[in-house]
Structure 1
Amino acid sequence: IRKMEEERIRVIQAVQPSVVAVLTGGGSGVLISEDGYALTNFHVTEAARGPVMKCGLPDGNVYDAVLVGLDKVGDVALIKLLPKKPGDTFPFAKLGDSDKLQAGDWSLAMGNPFLLANDFTPTVTYGLVSGVHRYQYPEGTLLEYTDCIQIDTSINPGNSGGPLFNMQGELIGINGRGSFEKRGRVNSGVGYAISINQIKNFLPQLKAGLDTDHASLGFRLETDDEEGGLAKLIVKQIISSDAMRRGVDVDDQLVSFAGHRLRSVNQFKNLLGLYPKGWRLPIVYRRVNDKKQIETHETLVRLMGVQRQELPQPGQPPPGPGPRPGPGPRPRSGEAPLPDSPARKLYKPKDGFANYYFNELEQERLLKAFHKHGDFGKATGDWILRTTGTLYAGVGSRGKRVVADFTIRSKGARDRQNPLVQGIVDGLDYSLEPLSDEEKPATRRDPPDSGGLLMALYQYRQLLVYGAKGFVTSFSHGGVEPFYPPSEDQTKPDYAKRRVDAEVLRTRHAGVDGKWYFSKNNDETAGQLLGFEIWLDPDEDPCEVYLADYKDVGGGRLPHRLEIRFGDKVYANLVVNAWKKEESK
């Protein structure tokens, strides 16, 4: 027993320096990097009534801090503490793996309950993990605790946002909800922590200053034949969504999601809440066809968001008298003016962002890595792309060998001022003025069945030549998302094997949205563009362009193999024979 006590004390002493007292918001937090990033609860930063705050550490010092990113649905916030001297580093906690937790494991909760720690030394409580993969209903669409950790380790008002550690000193969760009696002053032995594995999925978005959202698939499920392993999850209601475009319909059975076989609606909600809006993940669904045969379909689905109430939920049970956040957010009548703090220089407001300042930092870092593969800023003249390959659209699954040439003229439009995109595919001519309001919708989607390849190539040149300046309507870092390079064997998608995590840029220009995927490998490919998607209509499928076989072209590297997809079908596989780019005359 003595040895166990000594080990517990050693772990506490090792992790204690990373625990944060969030003074302005009246809660706790934990440092997760040496440069001062720290996790806490959304409702703690909401109570701060502004993005600039003060935090205390067990070293006895008070530090200026600023809000970085928000996950309102999941009740998580990322803040950044500023060092006393440039270059100083902070102690930080190591992130653990919350999926390894089991009921009965011991845990340590640390924080600043009742805001009594005048010297910022955190209190420590020790207790059991009572349950894992728990679900707690949200308040509206906010403060939804999915796949959370239930603990009997005491947490009280002021512990909100503080760390939950395992006995190896690894951060396994962020303390949030607790069940309190006597008007919130006495702990009843039931608390909930947000799992660190869920937070890991959102962390790149939080570091990019985003106001993130959680996922919805756009349909409602009910459980039929609840007999343990025989239970089936049946689609009972569906709205216009990517899932619907992928073929999901009412009365289909959802078999698996994100690689997990489904057993109950509760489990499905837990899984869905782990992922951010916009991610693309695999699902498997079944149906009985007209011939009474069972069809099984596996496909990728883009996840919708939940904050806009995109999916009606008739009959959903109310939250009931369950646990609620400790201090809780206070209503705002408008943020107060920013205090005179060094942290105010690190805050930039913008709609849709928690702090656009940090998004700009991520943009600059990613674009710097991207431009190492070639700076095409001087090639503002015409671009010509000559290819041969296989066209699948309208000619059957075997495809047809074709020649396809594309030209992007910088001033080829009728007014001699704006661009013109021309394409010759299998002898058929297509042209598009991407900035013209007079172009018909069908022309913007040319060539037919490509989803708008001419527009996509124009947007690609825009990124290569102008970077962020080419997208004045909108240009932002989107965090990290899964990306699925094409598979040579189309009959076996094997999404888990194909998946790579890629950094994302989001753009809007010429009335269309773009999403650009970049390699985040720690090698010479870091920052290389892997592919992109261009949406002519947010309620339709995008034109997907996958890039491979990069080679040197006039001082930079450009792809020499392209796969173009639209919906569930490959439009064409093209091999680039020549790139030609000109400087402006």
Structure 2
Amino acid sequence: MPDNRSLWSDGPSEDEHHGWLDAEPDAPATKEHRPAPAEEPTRQHRTGRMSRREPREGPSTWQQVRPKLLTPLVALCVVALLASGIAIGTRLIGERTVERTVVAGNSGGATSSQIKAAYTAAHDGVLRVTTSQGNGTGWVYDDRGTIVTNNHVIAGGGDTVKVRFTDDGADVDARVLGTDVSSDLAVLRVDPNDVDKLVPLKVAESDDVETGDPVVAIGYPLGLDQTTTAGIISGVGRQIPAQNNFQIDKVLQTDAPINPGNSGGPLLNIKGEVVGVNSQIATASAGGGSVGIGFAIPSDTVRDVVPTLAKGQTVKHAYLGVSVAPLTKGEGAAVGDVRSGSPAQQAGLRPNSETALRGLSDPDGDVITKIDGTAVNRPDDVTRIINDKEPGDRISIEYRRGSDTRSTEVTLGDRASAGGAAQSPSSPTLTLPGTPTSPSSPTIP
């Protein structure tokens, strides 16, 4: 789960592009003239006994064999360097010194032709989304003009936004059909008659995605025209905070470069099918640039949420009303803040002190160990189990209080009526960056 350096990946900023430096080819080596040996020794000469060693004329056997051995040996060394993924060299070109560093790209074994094929299959269905607050990315969901993007891309931008389907095309008005803060998804609609061509993207099942799978990201980062990057799935089952501080689960982590402006764009498998919606990035500094850790809302969540939003309806999410934190010793989820009037409070769950939540003392409140018979080993398990429930579901909670093991039953509420989630040490503070509209105003977390 990302820390407080996680950013929403919307709004443009600066970027750098580094190309290869190809050194000039070596000049062909001139052949050294060597006199032919006067006489090739016969087998009889080599095997016969000699009373004394006679000097030979012409090149020795080593001098004749060495050129034949040198070429394959050099080739072997070059192959070894390339196989390691890194080739570093320096050579002089005239009076310039050119340093070349070649690092093998991490495309999960996908070839450039496969990446290009995925891009070709999907890029016509990816578009720029612009509001009064900034810009992001979206993609076509169906042939009725339904478009998927992130909630935070259009938040505060009004009921009408602009979309552009090609880099040199005109802006088209799009209506906001619905938004869901808890999943960070939003649905727009354009009139198909206003668009030359609608290319809906195929949506794959994110539960089938595995760590190491190659992926492609398409979007409009840093105020640039449509841009494609590639990488791999570097983690599955992650959790990231939504704008209301509830956790989004089953998130895909990728090392495909994602930057501000990519938000809402598709993360594609090698077939060009959507497996996620790019939403957040982790950064190592206040600059807001990618450090190779991006997060995408899983496509299975898209399948669940988008049809409801497209009808103008509200997505319902189960609500327990408790924050949880990890334990320094043992398994379970320490109860943090308990919301007033929440199902958790009605069930009698007791929060731990701040000292205990920070691991400076043993738990002095409740520790959840099971929900509906499913073991809770860490806080993420509570989020995952509750997110799979519906408002009105009745669940059993087993918890530990001191040396006692207790259980209770509670009816889950509706998150929409609860407001934002409580903060806890396991839920990092969410900082929403601004969404500037030009690369000269980079996103600052």
Q: Same fold (TM over 0.5)?
A: yes
Distance 1:150 1:91 in 2: 26
Please give the residue correspondences for 1:83-102 in structure 2 after superposition, counting only pairs within 5 Å: 83-84=192-193, 90-102=198-210
Partner of 2:164: 56
Please give the residue correspondences for 1:200-219 in structure 2 after superposition, counting only pairs within 5 Å: 200-210=303-313, 214-219=317-322
Please give the residue correspondences for 1:262-301 in structure 2 after superposition, counting only pairs within 5 Å: 262-272=376-386, 279-281=391-393, 283-286=395-398, 301=412
Q: What number of residue pairs does the alignment pair up?
A: 310
Distance 1:318 1:288 in 2: 22
Question: 1:262/1:204 Cα in 2 relative to 1: closer, same or farther (>3 Å)?
Answer: farther
Partner AA of 2:371 in structure 1: S
Distance 2:399 2:218 in 1: 49
Distance 1:301 1:326 in 2: 35
Partner AA of 1:279 in structure 2: P
Report whether the alignment pairs 1:6 with 2:121. no
Write out per-residue CA displacement over residues 173-206 of structure 1, whole angstroms, 9 at most, x where no aligned residue: 1111123577646432221111222333322432
Partner of 2:213: 105
Asked if the contact 1:65–1:80 (Cα under 8 Å) also holds between the matched residues in 2, the reply is: yes
Asked if the contact 1:75–1:142 (Cα under 8 Å) also holds between the matched residues in 2, the reply is: no
Equivalent residue of 1:26, what SS? Answer: strand
Question: 1:79/1:302 Cα in 2 relative to 1: closer, same or farther (>3 Å)?
Answer: same
Report whether the alignment pairs 1:67 with 2:179. no
Distance 1:323 1:131 in 2: 23
Higher relative contact order structure (alpha carbons within 8 Å, sequence separation ≥ 6): 2
Question: 1:287/1:153 Cα in 2 relative to 1: closer, same or farther (>3 Å)?
Answer: closer
Equivalent residue of 1:189, what SS? Answer: coil
Question: 1:96/1:66 Cα in 2 relative to 1: closer, same or farther (>3 Å)?
Answer: same
Partner AA of 1:46 in structure 2: A
Equivalent residue of 1:84, what SS? Answer: helix
Task: Report the alpha carbon displacement of residue 297 of structure 1 after superposing the two structures with TM.
Answer: 7.1
Asked if the contact 2:368–2:376 (Cα under 8 Å) also holds between the matched residues in 1, the reply is: no
Give the counterpart of 2:228 among 124, 131, 144: 124
Equivalent residue of 1:308, what SS? Answer: coil
Task: Report the alpha carbon displacement of residue 68 of structure 1 after superposing the two structures with TM.
Answer: 1.0
Distance 2:419 2:392 in 1: 19
Distance 1:237 1:142 in 2: 13
Report whether the alignment pairs 1:31 with 2:166. no
Question: 1:137/1:318 Cα in 2 relative to 1: closer, same or farther (>3 Å)?
Answer: same
Partner of 1:168: 271
Partner AA of 1:286 in structure 2: E
Task: Report the alpha carbon displacement of residue 110 of structure 1 after superposing the two structures with TM.
Answer: 0.4
Give TM-score, length-normalised by structure 2: 0.58
Which is strand-richer, 1 or 2?
A: 1
Asked if the contact 1:73–1:213 (Cα under 8 Å) also holds between the matched residues in 2, the reply is: no
Report whether the alignment pairs 1:327 with 2:439. no
Please give the residue correspondences for 1:159-558 in structure 2 after superposition, counting only pairs within 5 Å: 159-180=262-283, 184=287, 186-210=289-313, 214-221=317-324, 226-227=329-330, 231-233=331-333, 238=338, 239-242=340-343, 249-250=349-350, 251=366, 253-256=368-371, 261-272=375-386, 279-281=391-393, 283-286=395-398, 301-305=412-416, 308-309=419-420, 312-313=422-423, 316=425, 319=428, 327=435
Asked if the contact 2:150–2:184 (Cα under 8 Å) also holds between the matched residues in 1, the reply is: yes
Asked if the contact 1:134–1:270 (Cα under 8 Å) also holds between the matched residues in 2, the reply is: no
Equivalent residue of 2:270, what SS? Answer: coil
Equivalent residue of 2:293, what SS? Answer: strand
Partner AA of 1:14 in structure 2: A
Partner of 1:135: 239
Question: 1:106/1:284 Cα in 2 relative to 1: closer, same or farther (>3 Å)?
Answer: farther
Equivalent residue of 1:94, what SS? Answer: coil
Equivalent residue of 2:124, what SS? Answer: helix
Question: 1:3/1:128 Cα in 2 relative to 1: closer, same or farther (>3 Å)?
Answer: closer
Partner of 1:40: 149
Asked if the contact 1:150–1:192 (Cα under 8 Å) also holds between the matched residues in 2, the reply is: yes
Partner AA of 1:8 in structure 2: I
Partner AA of 2:158 in structure 1: G
Partner AA of 1:106 in structure 2: P
Structure 1 gaps, min length 5: 330-585
Write out per-residue CA displacement over residues 21-45 of structure 1, whole angstroms, 9 at most, x where no aligned residue: 1133411101111111111112221
Distance 1:125 1:131 in 2: 18
Distance 1:134 1:21 in 2: 27
Task: Report the alpha carbon displacement of residue 103 of structure 1 after superposing the two structures with TM.
Answer: 2.0
Structure 2 gaps, min length 5: 1-106, 351-365, 438-445
Distance 1:15 1:128 in 2: 18
Distance 2:375 2:300 in 1: 19
Asked if the contact 1:178–1:191 (Cα under 8 Å) also holds between the matched residues in 2, the reply is: yes
Equivalent residue of 1:70, what SS? Answer: strand
